[in-house]
A and B are shown apart, each in its own frame.
Chain A
C-alpha cells in the first residue's frame, strides 16, 4: 500500500507539471493585454517598459520555469517565514498580481476563509443530509420516501445553482424578507445576535450548494446500500437473530460506505467549481469571485495560480480517493 502511495505521488508530479504547462500556454495565447486599461497617452516606449516591469518582456520558456520556481519554492519559503519567523525567502520575487500589484497568495489567503466557510459547510451539510436519505431510500426501496428522494435528487441534478440561488433569493429575501440576499463578509461573530445573523446569511448559499451534493451522494449511498442488502452475509446476520438496526446500521452501512467515501472525496473539487457560480449569485467575495475579476482584468498570474490550485486539489483528491478505497476495502489490491 505504501509502495502504491509513493508510486502515485511520484506519478502525480508530471501530471501536475503538464497541467501547469497547459494552463500557462493557454494564458500565453491570450490576446487580452494587461496594459489595455492604461491611458492611450502613454508613449509606446514607456508602455514597453511597463510591460517589462510586469515581467512580460521575457519569452515563455523563461517565464514558465520562473513561475514554477515561484510557486513551488519561493511561496512555501515565505509561508514558512511567516509561520516560524525564519528568513528562508530572503526577499525573493513572489508571484505578483497585475491588478493589485500585491502578492497573489496574500489575496488568495484573504479570500480563502469566505469560500472555505461556505463551500466546506455546504459539503458537510449536503453529505449529512444525503447519507440518511440514501440509507432509508434503499431500505424502503420503491416506497413513497424512496420515490420522493429520487425526485429530489433529480431536481438537484437538473436545477443549476444560478437558478436555484436566484429562486431562493426571490422567495426568501424579496417576497418573505427573512434572509439577506447578499453575503456580508465583513460581518464578525461576537455574540448571539451576530451569530444569528451569520447563520441567516449563510443558510441560502450553503443550501443551494448542498442540494447538488445531496443529489449525488444520496444516489450513490442508495445504490451501494442496495448492493449490500442483497448479499449473503446480511441473511446470515439476520438468521443469527441480530436486530434489524444492528444488521443495517452496523454491517450493511459499514460495507456500503466504502464506495461512498471515495465519491465524497472525488466530489470536493467539483464543489469548488460550483462555488464560482454560487459566489457570483450571492455576491460572496471568495475565490470564485476573485477568479472572475482576474479573468476580466487579464490578470494572468492570478488566474494561473487559482486555476492551478484547483488542479492540485483535483489530483490530490483523486489520489486520496484511490488510497482510501484500498485502505477501506481489503479486497482491493493495487500491487
Chain B
C-alpha cells in the first residue's frame, strides 16, 4: 500500500515555483479512486465479501457437485455439522455440511443455486434501472423542452405504491410470460423488468441535477463552440462526468434489487417453488424454523450480508469518487 501512495504527492505540498518535473509514469485517475477506496475498511471488507459470495455461488457448484433439486428422503432433516459440537446424537453428516431440508435436498447446494439466481436478478435489474434512470436523467437535464414532461412523469411514477403494484404485476404477467419463455426464464424476465421499471426514478433525478449543473460549465460551452452535436456532447463530455453519482446509485440499486426480489419470493409471488432463490429458501423454511432454525439462518444471512457488503461498497465509493474528500 505505502509504495503506491508514496508516489502521489498531495497537491498543496507542490511548490508552484519549483521546476516542473513530470512523474515517471502518468497515473490514471482511477488509481487515485482505488487508493481512496482501499482506505475505507468497511468498503474493502464489503468488496471482499461480495467477491467471495459471487465466487462461492458461481463456481461453488463445480466443486460441490450435488444436485440442489435431488430428493434424498433417507437423508432428510440432517442438521448442519456444527450441531454435533453440543449435541452428539443429532443427525449430522460431513457429506451435508449445512444440513438438508425436509425432502433431503442439500442446503449448501441450494444456497449456491439460489445465490446465482438472486445475484443475477439483482445485477440485471440494477443495470436496467440505471440505464433507464440515466437515459431519462440525461434527456431531461440536457434538453429543456423535455424537462418538464419527463420530470412530471418521474414524479408520477414516484407516487405509485411500488410493492403492491409489483405484486399485481407478478400475478398478472406470470402465466403469459411463463408460456412464452418457459417457467424459469419467464419469471426471471418478469422480476427483472418489474424491479427495473420501478426503481429508476432516484437515479434519473440525481443525474438530471448533475447534468443541469454541468451544462453551464465552460468546457461544455467550449465544446459547443466548436460545433459538437448534442449526441457526441452527451457521450463524450456529459456522461463521463456524471459517472460517479451513477456508480453510487448503482450500488444502492443493487442492494434494493436483491432485497425486493427476496421480498417477492418471501411473499410467495417470486420464482416457482422448485426453483430456489435466497428469499424462496427462507420462505419455505419459515414453517419449520422451530425445529430447524439454521434453515432460516443460512439464506437470511446470505441476503443480509450481501446487501450489507454492497451498502458498504457504496459508502466507500461515494467517498472515493468525491474529489473533495479524495487525497485527504
Q: Which residues of A contact B (CB under 8 A)?
A: 15, 18-19, 22-23, 26-27, 29-32, 154-155, 157-160, 162-163, 166-167, 169-170, 174-175, 269, 273, 276-277, 280-281, 291-292, 295-296, 298, 303, 306-307, 310-311, 314-315, 318
Which of A19, A159, A170, A295 has a CB less than 8 Å from the CB of B293?
A170
CA distance in complex: A131, B42 (Å): 25
**Which residues of chain B come closer than 8 Å to A22, judged between CB atoms?**
160
* B282 lies within 8 A of A166 (CB): yes
Which of B168, B279, B308 has a CB less than 8 Å from the CB of A307?
B168
Interface residues on B, range: 35 or more
* A166 lies within 8 A of B286 (CB): yes
CA distance in complex: A199, B162 (Å): 31
B311 within 8 Å of A (CB atoms): yes
> Given A19-B156, A273-B163, is A174 in contact with B267 using a C-beta cutoff of 8 Å?
no
> Given A155-B308, A160-B263, A174-B290, is A273 in contact with B168 using a C-beta cutoff of 8 Å?
no
Top 8 nearest A-B pairs (CB, nearest first) are A163-B300, A310-B161, A158-B308, A158-B307, A273-B163, A162-B266, A159-B304, A307-B164
* B159 lies within 8 A of A163 (CB): no
Closest residue of B by beta carbon distance from A277: B263
* B267 lies within 8 A of A166 (CB): no
- List 11 A-B pairs, Cβ < 8 Å: A30-B168, A30-B172, A32-B172, A154-B42, A157-B255, A162-B283, A163-B303, A273-B161, A295-B269, A296-B171, A307-B161
CA distance in complex: A30, B303 (Å): 31
Q: For residues 283 through 310 of chain B, which have their beta carbon under 8 Å from a beta carbon of chain A?
A: 283, 286, 289-290, 293, 296-297, 300, 303-305, 307-308
Which of A162, A269, A296 has a CB less than 8 Å from the CB of B161?
A269
Known interface pairs A29-B172, A158-B255; 9 further A-B residue pairs with C-beta atoms within 8 A, sorted by A's residue number: A23-B165, A30-B168, A163-B303, A269-B161, A273-B162, A291-B164, A292-B167, A295-B168, A311-B161
B213 within 8 Å of A (CB atoms): no
* B164 lies within 8 A of A32 (CB): no
**Shortest Cβ distance from B233 into chain A, in angstroms?**
33
B175 within 8 Å of A (CB atoms): yes
* A166 lies within 8 A of B289 (CB): yes
**Which residues of chain A come closer than 8 Å to B262, judged between CB atoms?**
160, 162
**Which residues of chain A come closer than 8 Å to B289, judged between CB atoms?**
166, 169-170, 174
* B156 lies within 8 A of A292 (CB): no
* A277 lies within 8 A of B267 (CB): yes
* B164 lies within 8 A of A163 (CB): no
**Shortest Cβ distance from A76 into chain B, in angstroms?**
21
In this complex, the member of A30, A158, A298 whose beta carbon has the largest number of chain B beta carbons within 10 angstroms is A158
**Shortest Cβ distance from A236 into chain B, in angstroms?**
26
* B267 lies within 8 A of A292 (CB): yes
**Which residues of chain B come closer than 8 Å to A23, judged between CB atoms?**
165, 168
**Which residues of chain A come closer than 8 Å to B272, judged between CB atoms?**
none
B323 within 8 Å of A (CB atoms): no
B312 within 8 Å of A (CB atoms): yes
Q: For residues 77 through 135 of chain B, which have their beta carbon under 8 Å from a beta carbon of chain A?
A: none
Closest residue of A by beta carbon distance from B278: A163
* A158 lies within 8 A of B159 (CB): no
**Which residues of chain B come closer than 8 Å to A311, judged between CB atoms?**
159-161
In this complex, the member of B155, B266, B297, B303 whose beta carbon has the largest number of chain A beta carbons within 10 angstroms is B266
CA distance in complex: A155, B308 (Å): 7
**Which residues of chain B come closer than 8 Å to A281, judged between CB atoms?**
286
**Which residues of chain B come closer than 8 Å to A154, judged between CB atoms?**
42, 308, 311-312, 315
